[in-house]
Amino acid sequence: MSSTTTMTMTTRPTSLSDSGVQLSPDAERPSETLTSLASPLSDSNSSMMNDDEKRGDDTQRAKSRMEKYFAEKPDKNIFMKLIHPSYHERNLQFKKIFVDKGLIEESDQFLASYSCAYQREILAQGRMFISQFNVCFYANIIGWETTLVIPMKEIKLIKKMKAAFIFPNSIQFERDTGEKYFFASFINRDKSFQVLTTAQQKVVGEEGRAMTREEVWDMVYKEKVSGFWEK
């Protein structure tokens, strides 16, 4: 008698659907599932790229504005020159009043200018010119001129003050000789004070170097402060 061996073959399901397991429509398309899983990373990378591009555009715009600000501009009508003088025009005034008269060195670069009043016997309304190594002031009231030059290295103290003990619009300088100089009527006293103290500290501090006009630009414009020149 011969024995017969019966072999039973079990067919494995080729997919979860064949096994009777119900799949959702999204799960039946694995490629779409992988894509959906990757999309948050793609969005994140895209956002980072957009941020980098935005920073790059902001940097380029800031550089373009700085170059335009320091560039020599074509002649404007007399009213525009009086209302909004450019850096170049203020620099020409600075050289004419102080450099051409031999009051300061030609190499001393002009940084910034602010309208203010110097208190002596009376308040002389004029303009403060800040250069790399000097604080200068000039006023011309009906032919009566006031010209003052204070070397940065001789300034012992720069202090915020109040005019008439009420108005917070003044700055006082104290020289190492003990002399004091009081300036009032600053339109933006805090911003003027910031530029003055930074320029003075760079000259007399550990750095021992002059502040550059580009550093003044960074200090004022990178904080998005509008209207660098005070009228």
Whole-prediction pTM value?
0.66
**Positions in the chain whose pLDDT score sits under 50:** 1-38, 79-83, 224-231
**Is the alpha carbon torsion for 84, 90, 96, 98 positive or negative?**
positive
Would you state the pLDDT for residue 61? 65
Residue corresponding to tokens 């500290």:
201
Report the C-alpha gap between 137 and 198 in whole angstroms.
Answer: 18
